[in-house]
Amino acid sequence: MSLLDRRRSVWYAAAGGIIAIGAPTGLLILREIYSPRPVTTEILSDQLTYLYVLFATVFVLAILGFALGRQADQLKALSETDVLTGLPNRRALRQRLAMEFRRAVRYGTPVSLLLVDIDGLKQLNDTDGHAAGDRLIRGVGTAITEGLRESDFGARWGGDEFAIVAPNTSARAARSSGERLLARVAEHGLDHRRPSSVSVGISTFDPADGAFANQDALVRAADQALYRAKTGGRNRVVAA
């Protein structure tokens, strides 16, 4: 969530306070229409009324604005969060990837995308039920979260797939991250009946070669690399 999003409630409260100035202004206009006299004289003659209308309206609209801002933040967070894992969802991931891709192009830095697929999830669902599959999905989500740097962005891509956006990360560094993830998943023993594993496909935008024109091309390349990892035996990392 961006800094602006986190401060949305404050902005809404401030906007409510600014709008509240219209209440005493409207009262002044009405009185001037029905009983014209100098504005200064009107305000000074009934300043308590104008002050009360101003502060009461500021208070009410600021509270209302704050509440609306909080609600807007909560709705935005819900729309971008995967219910099962608590990770950001595909929509949030694509927004972050677009932002990081633009930043990489602008500043000439690399950005890597890792697509992660859980091996054997369908088989687990068929044999042990979807509750067991859900536990495995949550476990992989936890393993991914534990390995994220502060600048990285992990999300559930959908179904049995996750994704990680890694800014300022070369192809070599991304491969190392993918291999560490494989080790974490294996160590966690997420499926008590059989070894757990994931397959990882990686694509990297490097300004030095400009291999990918946009984020969609980066996603396609990572997806193709993931396919090769799955068909090549699973439990491995393949880079585009």
216 is catalytic: no
Instruction: State the DSSP string of 63-88.
Output: HHHHHHHHHHHHHHHHHTB-TTT-SB
From the list 82, 119, 152, 160, the catalytic residue is: 160
What is the phi/psi pair of residue 164, to 5°? -130, 125
* Close Cβ partners of 91 (under 8 Å, ≥ 6 residues apart): 79, 80
What is the C-alpha to C-alpha distance for residues 115 and 96, in angstroms, rounded to an integer?
15
What is the C-alpha to C-alpha distance for residues 5 and 17, in angstroms, rounded to an integer?
19
Q: Tokens in use for 110?
A: 């690399």
What is the C-alpha to C-alpha distance for residues 174 and 6, in angstroms, rounded to an integer?
30
Active site members = 160
